[in-house]
Amino acid sequence: MLVALNLVLSYVIKLPTPTGFISLVEVGIFLAAWLRGPKAGAIVGAITGGLLDMLSGYPQWLIFSALIHGSEGWCLGHAKPTPTSRLVYSFLGGVIMVIGYWLVGGLLLWLASPALSWLGALKTASVEVPLNSAQVIIGGLVATLIQPFIKVQKMEKESYNFDK
């Protein structure tokens, strides 16, 4: 369910950039990781990141976004529920996301422009670094603000026993 909510939130609220867009995709990744751990963070990150690119018209990013956001979610999910731990893992997850998109952006620019050197492609892709950094920071802040209002339900087998 968090994938669906995150996909809608991210698709509706996105801003174009020179090579793609920024969105609120991090909100759902942070929440899934903090509330359910690394596996949930990785799943929500990978599925949401890939589907968002496909639906937004950037299919060349699908696999890369799934890997980058999945890795980010996996990292975030290792944070303990303390402010210091969350800050450290948020920083590490953000580094994974920002550097991942910078390197892949450079690769895609280099492949698309034969006259552009690898270094030139990385320099050009660096224009997205501040924007992607802002995406991580804003996503983490929004997740921090709304997380106290989300109640995690434990699913008990007895709750779904329809034989009673």
Q: How confident is the model at residue 162 (pLDDT cuts 50, 70, 90)?
A: very low
Average confidence score pLDDT of the chain: 90
Write the class of the CATH domain 1-79+87-163: mainly alpha
pLDDT digits (tens, 9 = 90+) for 79-126: 999 999 999 999 999 999 999 999 999 999 999 998 999 999 999 999
Q: What is the model's pTM?
A: 0.88
pLDDT digits (tens, 9 = 90+) for 42-64: 999 999 999 999 999 999 999 99
Whether residue 47 contacts residue 71, with contact meaning beta carbons closer than 8 Å, is answered with: no
- What's the per-residue H, E or C state across 48-69? HHHHHHHHHCCHHHHHHHHHHH
Residue 116: exposure state from Cβ atoms within 10 A (0-12, 13-18, ≥19): middle
